[in-house]
Amino acid sequence: MTRRLWNLSAGPAVLPESVLAEAQDSLLSLGDTGVGVCEHSHRGKAFVGVADEAEALCRELAGIPDNYRVLFLQGGASTQFAMIPMNFLTSDATADYINTGAWSKKAIKEARLFGNVNVASTGEETNFSTIPASHSFSDHPRYVHYTSNNTIFGTQFAAEPDGFSDDAFLVCDASSDIFSRPIDVSKYGIIYAGAQKNLGPSGVTLVIIRDDLVEAGNDQLTSMLQYRTHAGSDSMFNTPPTFGIYLMMLVFRWIRDNGGLAGMGTRNRDKAGRLYDTIDRSSLFRATAAQAARSQMNVTFVTGDADKDAQFIAEATAAGFNAIKGHRSVGGMRASIYNAFPPEGVDALIQFMDEFENGTT
């Protein structure tokens, strides 16, 4: 097999090796069925078993209360940017959005097509290196939307925003930190995430939505864009992304076997903590996110000299670190160390950074 690199890609991202090995076998035969996982009917017993286990594990891991539905949808998180306001916002209503970067902005743009948007707070003045400490919520927003982790800018909310009116529900785009630490689902109306960072491959989107919202959504929309359609058919109104759901099930088993969300939280805190410590004690590297806003998923850093950054990226790439170049809007480097990125990979990166700084690479 080709040597596998330390994959620091922001998404699609690294998956647990044991998951990939099992998926490899399942491509030819799912269990002892003699039919590959991508070749099974989504309505057959074998795949329905997969979908049922994926949902059951998802519920168990996150402690999802019974009055929430778990949906496996398509169209990525980007379709949720539109589907949420389309279902819940009207031209005479307002939704509040916290703007913490490029993905929040995309969500805001979609919402403006359907109703009023109040940007309750923004990190724009600091090029999104901070998480706003306070928010100007409107009196009675329909909902409050935030992006829990900002993949591009390397910032993350330490806790859910609060202080908004009781009649609004909280919506979270958790695409880049879902299931990276324990979560209290009962605080939310809707949580959504594209799978391709912490949960599986691209092409499947996890949506956790409270029952009353499924029913409250606009019923004049095309069927595929109503939550009730998918909730009413166990995410099988049309052909679901079967391989993605299968891989998600394997990733959920891997999370369960590695201590659940608490285990992920400890593992991620430790990995990110060691990497930030290295950056903080370095006289070459500097973190771009403010201390209190630092992400445990996407660690962004620079040297302050674009040529030096380019040299580091080239040498790190040659040394086997994949996709360490930062997003163009931040520059420098970004190490995406999602759940499945191994602690040994962080050790290797730290060693490489030390050697680069000491001129011994």
Enumerate the active-site residues.
103, 173, 197
- Both structure tokens of 126: 């600091």
Restricted to residues 85-144, the positions that interact with ligand PMP (CB under 6 A) are 103
Nearer to ligand PMP, 76 or 265 (CB): 76
- Indicate whether 242 belongs to the interface with ligand PMP (CB under 6 A): no
The 137-156 site mask, x for binding ligand PMP (CB under 6 A), equals ----------x---x-----
- Minimum distance from CB of 173 to ligand PMP (Å)? 5
Nearer to ligand PMP, 152 or 168 (CB): 152
Nearer to ligand PMP, 201 or 332 (CB): 201
Taking CA atoms, 30 is separated from 4, 15, 16, 199, 253, in Å, by: 25, 19, 19, 20, 16
Helices (H) and strands (E) counted in the chain, each on its own, are 10, 14
Looking at residue 52, its amino acid is D
- Minimum distance from CB of 11 to ligand PMP (Å)? 5
Nearer to ligand PMP, 332 or 356 (CB): 332
Restricted to residues 198-217, the positions that interact with ligand PMP (CB under 6 A) are none
Backbone angles phi, psi at 333, to 5 degrees: -120, 155
Restricted to residues 255-314, the positions that interact with ligand PMP (CB under 6 A) are none
Rounded to whole angstroms, the Cα distance separating 198 from 355 reads 30
Q: Which residue intervals of the chain are DSSP H helices?
A: 17-28, 45-62, 76-88, 102-111, 211-216, 227-231, 242-257, 260-281, 306-318, 343-357
- Minimum distance from CB of 76 to ligand PMP (Å)? 3
Neighbours of 353 (CB within 10 A): 23
Neighbours of 137 (CB within 10 A): 20
The residue from 176, 296, 300, 339 that contacts ligand PMP (CB under 6 A) is 176
Which residues contact ligand PMP by CB under 6 A? 11, 76-78, 103, 147, 151, 173, 175-176, 194
